[in-house]
Amino acid sequence: MPKLDDVARAAGVSKATASRALSGASGVSPATRERVERTAADLGFRASNAARRLATGVTRTIGVLTPSVNRWYFGSVLHGIAHAADQHDHDVLLYDLGAFGKGGHEKFERFMLRGEVDGLVTITWSLVGGDLGRLAELGIPVATVGEPTPHSRSFALDDDAAGRVATEHLVQLGHTDLLHLASETEVQPLDASSSDRRLRAFQRVSAEHGLRMRDVVTLPTTLEGSHRAALELLAGADRPTGIVAGTDEVALGVMLAAHQLGIRVPEQLSVIGVDDVPSAAAFGLTTIKQDPAKHGEDVVAWIMAQLQEPRPEPDRQHTDYPPELIVRASTAPPG
C-alpha cells in the first residue's frame, strides 16, 4: 500500500505539499496539484477523509435523518438525495431514526455528537420541535423534506392543494356522499402532518358543497393494514359512493377489499389516492402525483448553493410542489 511519502517522492514535492494537494487545501498551484493527483492515481494512493477534513473543513458528506427507509416515500426521497449528492461528489450518511419511543431520540443524540457532515436533511416526521430547534447548533445548512417547518428550509408537496384537488375531482363527477380515509402518522408529527392537511382540505371542500359530513376514519398507512380495516369498513350497508384516501397505499388497500367483497370499482365505489406510487398505474388508481425523488434532488441543490455562498441568516423559505391529478379507472360518476 503506497504512502504519502511515496507520492511526494515520485511527484518531486515535499510531503506537506503533497498533503495539501491531495486534501484540496489552498496554497498549491494548479500544475502541482494536477501532477500530485496524477502521481497518486498511478500509485493507487488515496488520501484519507480525515486528512481532507482537517485541511479543508469539508467532509463531502450529507447527513440524512429519516423515520423509515422501507416505505415508498422515504425511499424515493433518499434516492433523489443520493443521486444528487453523487453528482456533487458527496456521500450520504444515513440515520434511520425509527418511531419515537423506539430509540429515535437516542439516535438523534448520537448524531448530534458524532455527525460530521457538510449539510443535513431531515425527512418528514423524523424529529419533533425541540430536536428540530437544536439543529441550528450544527452551524451547517439544514433542510426538511416532506413537511413545511419554521426550523429550516423546507420542501414538500402542497398537501392542502392535493386534498382539495382530490376531493373536487369526485365532486365534479357528481358524488355527494364521500368518506375520507386518513393515514396514521408513524411518529410524533409536527404541528400538523401531511395527512392532517389533506383531511382539512377534504373537510373544507365538503362544507363548501354541502356534502354529507361522515366521521373521518383513520387507517394504518400500510397496504396490509388498510386492507384489513377496509374489509370491515366496506362490509356495512351504509357505504359512501366515493372515498378520498390519504395515500395510495390506503387507496389500494380499499380497492383490494372492495374486490374481495364484490363491490365494483368505480361503478359502485370511486377511489382516489395521493402519491402515484409505481403500482398505482397497474391497478388503475386515480391519484394525485408527487415526485419525492425530485424533492430530494432539489434539497441537495439548495445545500450545495448554501455551501458555495453562505447566507448570514438561515433561509426559512418553503417550496410547495403543486399536485398533479392523474385520472385512471378507479373513479367515475356515481352509479
* Confidence label for 138 from pLDDT (cuts 50, 70 and 90): confident
| Residue 105's pLDDT band (cuts 50, 70, 90) | low
Q: Is-cis flag, bond preceding 266, omega within 30?
A: yes
- The mean pLDDT of 128-146, rounded to a whole number, is 77
Angle at 167 between CA 166 and CA 169, to 5 degrees: 70
- Over residues 8-24, the mean pLDDT reads 83
Name the most confidently modeled range: 21-25, 29-33, 193-197, 282-286.
282-286
pLDDT for res 101: 43
Report which listed range, 190-199, 214-223, 281-290, is most confident. 281-290
The residue ranking higher by pLDDT, 184 or 95, is 95
Pairing of strands 119-123, 142-145: parallel
Half-sphere exposure (CA, 13 Å, Cβ side) for 185? 21
Residue 159: DSSP 8-state: H
Give me 38's grid cell. Answer: 496524477
User: For 80-84, what is the mean pLDDT?
Assistant: 97
DSSP for 56-79 reads HS---EEEEEES-SSSHHHHHHHH
Q: Dihedrals φ, ψ of 324, to 5°? A: -125, 120
Instruction: Tell which residue, 244, 290, 250, has the closest CA to residue 271.
Output: 244
Q: Is 88 within 8 Å of 300 (Cβ atoms)?
A: yes
Judge contact between 74 and 65, C-beta under 8 A. Answer: no
E strand or H helix at 154 = strand 153-157
pLDDT at 3: 81
Identify the pLDDT of residue 54. 45
Please state which of the ranges 201-210, 220-229, 242-251 shows the lowest mean pLDDT.
Answer: 220-229
User: pTM of the entire structure?
Assistant: 0.81
> 90-99, 125-134, 288-297, 312-321 — which one is most confidently predicted on average?
288-297
Average pLDDT estimate for 60-79: 90
Lowest mean pLDDT among 13-17, 137-141, 274-278: 137-141
> Which three cell numbers, joined as nine digits, stand for 177?
356522499
Percent of the residues in the chain that have a pLDDT greater than 90, as a whole number: 51
Three-class SS of residue 139? coil
- For the range 40-48, what are the long-range contacts, defined as Cβ-Cβ under 8 Å and sequence gap of 24 or more? 40/2, 40/7, 40/11, 42/10, 43/2, 43/6, 43/7, 43/10, 44/1, 44/2, 45/2, 45/3, 45/4, 45/6, 45/7, 47/4, 47/19, 47/22, 47/23
pLDDT classification of 189: cutoffs 50, 70, 90: very low
What is the fold of 4-56?
434 Repressor (Amino-terminal Domain) (1.10.260)
- The pLDDT score that the predictor gives to residue 188 is 45
Provide the H-helix boundaries in the chain: 4-11, 15-23, 30-43, 49-56, 72-87, 104-114, 129-134, 159-172, 194-208, 223-234, 248-260, 278-282, 292-308
- Average per-residue pLDDT for the chain: 86
Mean pLDDT along residues 199-210: 96
Question: Does residue 255 have a pLDDT over 80?
Answer: yes
Average pLDDT over residues 6-34: 84
Amino acid at position 42, single letter: D
Binned at pLDDT 50, 70 and 90, residue 99 comes out as low
What band does 316 get if pLDDT is binned at 50, 70 and 90? Answer: low
Same fold, 4-56 and 61-156+292-321: no
Kindly write down the DSSP assignment for every residue of 83-125, as one continuous string. Answer: HHHHHTT-EEEEEE--STTTTHHHHHHHHHHH---SEEEEEGG
Question: How would residue 147 be classed by pLDDT, with cut points 50, 70 and 90?
Answer: confident
- Domain boundaries along the sequence of the chain: 4-56, 61-156+292-321, 159-290
Architecture in CATH for domain 61-156+292-321 = 3-Layer(aba) Sandwich (3.40)
- Interval 3-20 mean pLDDT: 85
Superfamily in which the 159-290 domain is placed by CATH: Response regulator (3.40.50.2300)
Q: What is the pLDDT of residue 82?
A: 97
High-pLDDT (> 70) share of the chain, %: 85
Q: Check pLDDT > 50 for residue 100.
A: no
Mean pLDDT of 88-99: 84
Question: Residue 314: what pLDDT?
Answer: 53
